[in-house]
Amino acid sequence: MADKYYISCDLGAESGRVILGALGDGKLRLEEVHRFPNNPVRIRGSLHWNVQGIFEELKRGLRKVAARDMPVAGLSVDSWGVDYVLVNDRKPMLSMPYHYRDSRTESTYAKALENVGHELIYDETGIQFMPINTLYQLLAEVDENPEIVANTDQFLGIADYFHYLFCGVGKAEVSLASTTQIYNPRTRSWSAELINTFQLPESLFPPIVPSGTRLGQLKAELCAETGLPEVEVIASCSHDTGAAVVAVPAEGEDWAYLSSGTWSLIGIELPAPLINDDTRECNFTNEAGFGGKTRFLKNIVGLWLLQESRRAWAQQGQKLEYAEINRLAEEAEPFRSLINPNDARFLKPQDMPTEIAAFCRETGQLEPETPGQFARCILESLALLYGEFLDILEQIAGQKISKLHIVGGGSQSKLLNQFASNASGRIVLAGPVEATAIGNLLIQAIALGDLDSLEELRYVVRTSFAIDTYEPQQTADWLQACQRFANLELSE
């Protein structure tokens, strides 16, 4: 059988990639055709995404694909969740979309919880409470920009917005819609209760479509501009974590996943939402997965801690590659300093190493002093947090977890993988690195009839990519560290 070709446009908080996938003989091959930085811009004190710049970079990548003269069948975009673009039928963008780390939601978040309460919001959505969620962004939009909202036909999540630019069809793919905290996973529709309670304009909310929906053909003007034929634009899983979980090379039912990158998303796959008092109190989230499955997970800070520390060191004239940072961490003293990565101070710090040192000082620990000590502190602390949440997941869902699949960019850190196994007492299976792009590409294959099922898709992943195995080591030392970690206090 001749190879089938698909394009994944994979947008992350740090960078974007255009990846060409070739499926043939039961295996998937990847080629990264174009990579570009995704730098937010600060304008008059507010943080925004440069979506025009992203669109130009995506088109540059498509031109590179077209130059290869492959018979491409499909194209799909995935991105982070919660952020959006406002559009109407005359203007493809009414204002620059805000970055989820912008401070505008702090007041609307507090006010919403005070006026409406956790119970109603969680019962309607099953989504964990975070100030960055779309609900609180839209409330800020209505308060601060009523004239723009009045002229808006609909909001579109980031990946869905680029689908709209590519083919002219504005739809909300369900995995991305489910991150908003305005989607009801039981009714599989927007929450009319919350829309009414918060008096949000109903007209803002686009139609929701399932993962793997064929939206339409690439616009003729873009075919002319890029040199591509009229490929089909497909809403695979528009949410990057949704796509990554699809590509977890798992078998059986005793496994959890960790999508490891800027954020760490740790969870299990369930047949239906799990929404009750216990899951609300533990602040777990129910996001839509491919084929009607539920991604029951916790969204926690991830390698953002290391990324921001690296950025701070670079500003001080000490530029370090991640390989060097990992080497220095491996050589550093174990358990010298620990932090709780979920502490609020680490979400939007001015200087990450300064905040980490302050946490350690305030909790009576030695402060990290070198990049190796900081990195070791971060990686050990993340691993301990993973272990803690796996135990909670096992208890709250009543599902045995003996294996943790780590996918995404963070799966390249052998040190973090081993630490995660040590801290959790579970086998860690690391890879594939490009899980998000793989999920994106192979959902396209299902949508176009080239694969039959999620099971077949995961079989292709297992046969196409190397998976590294880690088993627990130094368990006594890690048990002591777990007890110490449990006593660390968080600031609100």
CA atoms of 171 and 202, how far apart (whole Å)? 15
Alpha-carbon separation of residue 245 from 78, 284, 457 (angstroms): 13, 17, 12
Question: How far does CA 348 lie from the centroid of its chain?
Answer: 17
418 within 8 A of 473, measured Cβ to Cβ: yes
Which candidate, 258, 306, 242, 352, places its Cα nearest to that of 14?
A: 306
Query: Which residue reads 């100030």 in tokens?
Result: 131
CA atoms of 331 and 326, how far apart (whole Å)? 9
Question: How far does CA 152 lie from the centroid of its chain?
Answer: 27
Both tokens of 205, joined, read 């909310």
Which candidate, 152, 157, 159, places its Cα nearest to that of 133?
A: 157
What is the SS3 assignment for 377?
Answer: helix
Sequence length of the chain is 492
Both tokens of 376, joined, read 């070791």
Both tokens of 225, joined, read 């501009």
Which residues are paired to 24 by β-bridges? 27
Q: What is the dihedral of CA 208, 282, 397, 122, to 10 degrees?
A: -30
Strand 172-173 relative to strand 208-209: parallel, antiparallel, unpaired? parallel
What is the SS3 assignment for 266?
Answer: strand
Which residues are paired to 28 by β-bridges? 23
CA atoms of 328 and 324, how far apart (whole Å)? 6
Q: Is the bond into 432 cis (omega within 30 degrees of 0)? A: yes
Alpha-carbon separation of residue 159 from 143, 174, 350, 485 (angstroms): 25, 12, 29, 37
The answer to whether 240 is a known catalytic residue is: yes
Catalytic residue among 10, 83, 240, 343: 240
Which candidate, 86, 93, 231, places its Cα nearest to that of 166?
A: 231
Query: Which residue reads 């369900």 in tokens?
Result: 174
Cβ-Cβ contacts under 8 Å for 345 (sequence gap 6 or more): 355, 358, 359, 491
CA atoms of 67 and 253, how far apart (whole Å)? 43
Q: Active-site residues: which are they? A: 240
